[in-house]
Amino acid sequence: MGKRRDSCDSQMNRSLNSGFRKKQSQSIEVENAKMLRRLQERKSDYDLDNYKKQWRKTRKMIKSIASYPIVIDNISNRRKKQAIRL
The per-residue pLDDT for range 25-75, each reduced to its tens digit, is 999 999 999 999 999 999 888 889 999 999 999 988 888 888 877 776 555
Question: What residues have CB less than 8 Å from 69, skipping those under 6 apart?
Answer: 85, 86
For residue 8, tell me if it sits in a domain.
no
Q: Which domain holds residue 61?
A: 48-85
Would you call 19 helix, strand, or coil by DSSP?
Answer: helix
Model confidence, pTM? 0.42
Q: Which pLDDT value is given to residue 62?
A: 87
For residue 80, tell me if it sits in a domain.
yes
Is 1's pLDDT higher than 80?
no
For residue 19, tell me if it sits in a domain.
no
For residue 61, tell me if it sits in a domain.
yes
Question: Number of structural domains, the chain?
Answer: 1
For residue 35, tell me if it sits in a domain.
no
Residue 60 φ then ψ, to 5°: -65, -40
CB 32 within 8 A of CB 24: no
